[in-house]
A and B are shown apart, each in its own frame.
Chain A
Amino acid sequence: MQRRPSRVLAASAAALTAVTLSACASSDRDSGGGGEGGEAQSGGTLVFGATGDPSNLDPAFASDGETFRVLRQIYDGLLQPAEGSTEAEPDLAEGYEVSDDGLEYTFTLRDGVTFHDGTDFNAEAVCFNFERWYNFTGLAQSPSASSYYQDVFGGFADTPDVPNIYAGCEATDELTAVIRLNRVTSKFPAALTLPAFSMQSPTALQEYDADNLSGNEDAFTYSEYGLEHPTGTGPFRFDSWDRGNGQITIVRNDEYWGEPALLDEIVFRTIPDGNTRRQELQAGTIDGYDFVAPADYGTLEGEGAQVLVRDPFNILYLGINAGNVAGTNANPALQDPRIRQAIAHAIDRQTIVNSLLPEGAEVATQFMPPTVDGWADDVTTYDYDPERARQLIDEVNPASRTLRFYYPTDVTRPYLPDPAAMFQAISEDLSEVGFTIEPTALQWNPDYLQAAQAGQADVHLLGWTGDYNDAYNFIGTFFAAKADGLAKAEFGAFDAPEVFAALDRADAEPDPANRTALYQEANRLIMDYLPAVPVSHSPPALVVAEDVQGLTPSPLTAEDFSTVSLTS
């Protein structure tokens, strides 16, 4: 498999190294994918079918894909994912410098940028945003509110017992913001490409009381800012949110600092049912929608629609329970590495990829896709070999060959388009080598997720879509040690100190080249230990009508609609 060249955003281990990034964030805007026929033209309204309503439009309190899709059009961050790729590139920052120890980031900001309320974007605004996140109190600290801040930065100003990596921000001049960290993590600055870390207008945040998540025992109410006055610097401005009709309208920002958007407005309309979304596209009342069922690709393309397939940036794995979670009654045989290897050898992953996943899917050799820095081409692999699997099982001769296999229902995930079919295929393979499968099907959320994450299954299907180009976002999320020094309950809290240490080492390494090598080492250790079986990377797709041009599919589902136009 080909590796992508490592990230441009390299911070040298030598003295302060300037990383100057070309200020071309918005150039080549008309080179996107989408339809080829017809002249791109300005104007018009694009209607996009969403699967659900956004939660609110304050990025700091957002974490789901439908909300992010809207936010990406209204806001900019310091960095953004490059068009059609997972690599970070400059957005509101023209570039940054990193200190030797990797603890100080000096961002040089783009000049002449204003927020939608007319106020200036500058270094003080950057620091205002960082300080705002760090100083959240009360309900704003709920994991359902500021989830990405907590995932990347850790604790808050008033929670000294929770480790946090943010040490401070200083506006050294109008266009220079220095951000200091308490410790190095590979999440920073890659995570700044997430909409959760978008730059927002300090004036609007204060005027509309953005931090005030009022509420009582059961839940909070989003602020007036998040519901009615989102104010960013992006190519589109918020116009209206018609909740009764489930639609959000955003309009072109004519004062945009980059190349202005081509469309006049975009309407995001909530259509929860997948069949309805397809029929609405066929009827011409919407111009596109996301998460197309692979079974519909042919029909839609036959009718002239364009199915835009993203590069896979996810992983499907078969989780294995190591049996260290009290009361979960896991099969003790799974603690023996030979049984885990037997499971890996038993599964015909190539056939699964060929028959159950859309074109472009590939067999996973490790727990992250090849496009992430740190992917290793020399990990131990476990080829399909049922004979070897049987041998291994016979060698161990476990007391029980029964595997309680959990799988979800009522859900389609980008990495798992058809859970029942996937369960069927894997369980047949496992039965073939002598395991007895006891299936349990549960509704996806919350039933299945809770059962799987609590370690109630012997083996289970789950996966992950990456948030940004960082190995820790994949393998750290899965296999890093928890506070008790063991792995997550989902994997039966296994104890593999060498894996945990390798992940910590890689995360704390400031030099990108060294870090990549350390993550490769971590991947090798993980695949030797085999705490679970990586199955596949599967490409999700979105679809647009024939007359939609200029939409480039993004592996991170970070599509930029400002380049989109309608030819009719």
Chain B
Amino acid sequence: MLRFTVRRLLQLVPILLGLSVLLFAWLRALPGGPAQAALGERATPEDIEQYNRLFGLDQPIWIQYLRFLQRAVTLDFGNSTQYGRPVTEVFFERFPGTIELTLAAMVFAIGVGIPLGYVAARRYGSALDSASVVGSLLGVAVPVFFLAYLLRLLFAVELGWLPGSGRQDVRIDATRITNFYVLDGLLTREWDAAWDALLHLVLPALALGTIPLAIIVRITRASVLDVVNEDYVRTANAKGLSAATVRRRHVVRNALLPVSTTIGLQTGLLLSGAVLTETVFAFGGVGLALRDAITYRDFAILQGFILLLAVVYVLVNLLVDISYGVLDPRVRVR
């Protein structure tokens, strides 16, 4: 297991190097450079020239790349042109929001998806089954931003039950420790702050969790249908094990293997920044920052964030692979 983990971590090095070269080339191939983006409609050619000179953008691209690499190994991804602050500082300020949102979305997707998929499979062919199949198709098909607007219009504007944007009510003067707002509220015993942050997660998590939910329902359903027809389940039933034991030890555990892969992949995806959801809900996570960075050609943010997110993605996948070992002893042996 250790060798496996180390090998996977070492694979990160070529992945990140390759990614950094691609990113560097791609960003600089975009029309309009950071100078124009930073200076906006008032930029004169002289301003742009001066800007490029000051920030070394007039240097050959390979020199720029080597400088970037030199700093990046010390986790210094430079400064954001948009925020005028170090990229890593902005990242660690934004990432907790995205983690919170991802966790909330996945709790919703898993909490609803697995039971629903399981029940649909056990009642194969019933109305509930058909409804779950159609529902999950819809869930994948509806654009996230559209669903987000609908949810907000209904629950925030019309009914007024839930907050419709931001991470916390502006009138709450909360203490920040970790930038995980819910956690901070719990740690500081500011219960109202924690509760409010939690409420702010509901609508974005519903919008963001819909696609993973739909996928989890479908995979769980298909997987359970496969497993219940396996020989070992028939054997377990035949030897007189109680239905609950068969369900728990033989059906669910085996059916969850492909589901866990899906969950891992989806979590990795969501952690990379839910650009649309965060934009619609003005939710200050990495997705919103990435959106702005593309608009403003903030190369430093794009390079730094995407590389850091790649590390996160690889790590999440590693965890998924390790969890295989826990769920499936055969993988452990290998």
Contact = CB atoms under 8 A, between A and B. Distances in A.
A21 interface: no
A280 interface: yes
Interface string B41-65: 1111111101100111101000010
B15 to A, nearest CB: 23
A329 interface: no
A271 B300 contact: no
Interface in A434-452: 442, 445-447, 449-451
Contacts of B78: 216-219
Contacts of B166: 245-247, 269, 271
Contact of B282 (A144, A270, A454): A270
Nearest to A222: B84
A294 interface: no
A517 interface: no
A242 B42 contact: no
Contacts of B165: 271, 276, 280, 285
Interface string A256-275: 00000000000101111101
Nearest to B33: A446
Contacts of A271: 165-166, 282
B281 A218 contact: no
A143 B55 CA distance: 11
A215 B166 CA distance: 31
Given A219-B78, A243-B93, A446-B36, A139 B54 contact: yes
B149 interface: yes
Contact of B281 (A147, A243, A247, A276): A276
Contacts of A151: 42
Q: Give the dominant DSSP class at A's interface.
A: mixed
B186 interface: no
Contact of A446 (B37, B42, B160, B181): B37
Given A273-B279, A449-B36, A244 B167 contact: yes
A422 B297 CA distance: 27
Interface string A200-224: 0000000000000101111111100
Interface string B146-169: 000100110011001001111111
A450 B292 CA distance: 18
B170 interface: yes
Contacts of B68: 218
B160 A217 contact: no
Given A143-B51, A144-B81, A267-B170, A450 B32 contact: yes
Contacts of A247: 166, 170
B79 A221 contact: yes
A277 to B, nearest CB: 9
B245 interface: no
State which size class the interface on A falls in. Answer: 35 or more
B179 interface: yes
Given A217-B64, A244-B94, A275-B149, A445 B54 contact: no
B64 A449 contact: no
Interface stretch (A47-55, A374-382, A497-505): A47-55
Contacts of A451: 31
Contacts of A284: 160
Nearest to A53: B83
A141 B300 CA distance: 20
User: Interface centre among B44, B48, B149, by most A CB within 10 Å?
Assistant: B44
A285 B199 CA distance: 14
Interface in B88-131: 90, 93-94, 96-97
A115 B68 CA distance: 42
Contact of B71 (A147, A216, A446, A489): A216
B51 A244 contact: no
A283 B157 contact: yes
Contacts of A267: 170-171
B295 interface: yes
A549 interface: no
Contacts of A217: 55-57, 59, 64, 67, 78
Contacts of B157: 279, 282-283
A186 interface: no
B176 A218 contact: no
B299 interface: yes
B198 interface: no
Nearest to A281: B157
Given A141-B54, A217-B67, A244-B167, A445 B37 contact: yes
A231 to B, nearest CB: 18
Contacts of B31: 442, 446-447, 450-451
Interface in B4-56: 31-48, 50-51, 54-56
Contact of A144 (B51, B163, B297): B51
B253 interface: no
B288 interface: yes
Contacts of A53: 83
Contact of A489 (B45, B67, B90, B297): B45
Contacts of A283: 156-157, 160, 164
A142 interface: yes
Contact of B176 (A141, A242, A270, A279): A242
Interface in A320-369: none
A533 to B, nearest CB: 18
A45 B171 contact: yes
A135 interface: no
A142 B81 CA distance: 12
A272 B43 contact: no
Interface of B: 31-48, 50-51, 54-57, 59, 64, 67-68, 71, 78-86, 90, 93-94, 96-97, 149, 152-153, 156-157, 160, 163-171, 176, 179, 181, 279-282, 284, 288, 291-292, 295-297, 299-300
Interface of A: 45, 47, 52-53, 55-56, 63-64, 139, 141-144, 147, 151, 213, 215-222, 226-227, 242-247, 249, 267, 269-273, 275-276, 279-280, 282-285, 442, 445-447, 449-451, 453-454, 462, 464, 482-483, 488-489
29 contacts: A45-B171, A47-B171, A52-B292, A63-B42, A139-B54, A141-B50, A141-B54, A142-B55, A143-B47, A147-B39, A217-B64, A218-B55, A218-B81, A219-B55, A219-B300, A242-B176, A244-B181, A244-B284, A267-B170, A272-B292, A273-B279, A276-B164, A280-B164, A280-B165, A446-B34, A447-B31, A449-B32, A488-B44, A489-B45
Given A246-B282, A273-B280, 10 more contacts: A47-B171, A56-B84, A63-B42, A147-B39, A219-B78, A244-B179, A275-B280, A279-B156, A445-B36, A446-B33
